[in-house]
Amino acid sequence: MRAARFTGPGRPLQVQEVPRPEPGPDEVLVRVRAAGVCATELHFTDGLLTPARTPITLGHEVAGTVEAVGGAVTAWEPGDRVAVHYLHSCGDCRQCRRGRENLCAAPRGMLAFASDGGFAEFVAVPARSLARIPEALAFVQAAPVACSVTTALHAAAVAGAGADDVAVVYGAGGVGSALVQVLRHRGARVVAVARSPRRRELARELGAEWTIDPADGDVGAQVQRLTGGADCVVELVGTADSGRQALAALAPGGALVYVGYSAERIELDPVRLVVPEQRILTSVSSTLAELEQGLDLVARGVVRSVVDRTEPLEAVDDVLGALARGEVTGRAVLVP
Smaller CB separation from Zn ion, 227 or 286: 286
* Smallest separation, CB 118 to Zn ion (Å): 11
- Would you say the C-alpha torsion 295, 299, 300, 303 has a positive or negative sign? positive
* Smallest separation, CB 103 to Zn ion (Å): 8
Contacts with Zn ion in 256-315 (CB under 5 A)?
Answer: none
Q: Is 328 in the site for Zn ion (CB under 5 A)?
A: no
* Smallest separation, CB 222 to Zn ion (Å): 28
Backbone angles phi, psi at 326, to 5 degrees: 75, 25
**Considering only 103-111, 132-140, 161-169, 234-242, which stretch makes contact with Zn ion by CB under 5 A?**
103-111
Give the per-residue contact string, 144-173, with Zn ion (x = CB under 5 A; - = no). ---x--------------------------
Give the per-residue contact string, 18-57, with Zn ion (x = CB under 5 A; - = no). --------------------x-x-----------------
* Smallest separation, CB 228 to Zn ion (Å): 33
**Considering only 7-15, 102-110, 124-132, 213-221, which stretch makes contact with Zn ion by CB under 5 A?**
102-110
Smaller CB separation from Zn ion, 40 or 242: 40
* Smallest separation, CB 96 to Zn ion (Å): 3
**Considering only 19-27, 104-112, 152-160, 221-229, which stretch makes contact with Zn ion by CB under 5 A?**
104-112
* Smallest separation, CB 174 to Zn ion (Å): 8
- 15, 96, 149, 159: residue in contact with Zn ion (rule CB under 5 A): 96
Smaller CB separation from Zn ion, 102 or 242: 102
- 58, 73, 104, 130: residue in contact with Zn ion (rule CB under 5 A): 104
SS3 per residue for the chain: CEEEEECCCCCCCEEEECCCCCCCCCEEEEEEEEEEECHHHHHHHCCCCCCCCCCEECCCEEEEEEEEECCCCCCCCCCCEEEECCEECCCCCHHHHCCCHHHCCCCCEEECCCECCCCECEEEEEHHHEEECCCCCCHHHHHHHHHHHHHHHHHHHHHCCCCCCEEEEECCCHHHHHHHHHHHHCCCEEEEECCCHHHHHHHHHCCCCEEECHHHCCHHHHHHHHHCCEEEEEECCCCHHHHHHHHHHEEEEEEEEECCCCCCCCCCCHHHHHCCCCEEEECCCCCHHHHHHHHHHHHCCCCCCCEEEEEEHHHHHHHHHHHHCCCCCCEEEEEC
**Considering only 84-92, 210-218, 249-257, 299-307, which stretch makes contact with Zn ion by CB under 5 A?**
84-92
| Binding residues vs Zn ion (CB under 5 A) | 38, 40, 89-90, 93, 96, 104, 147
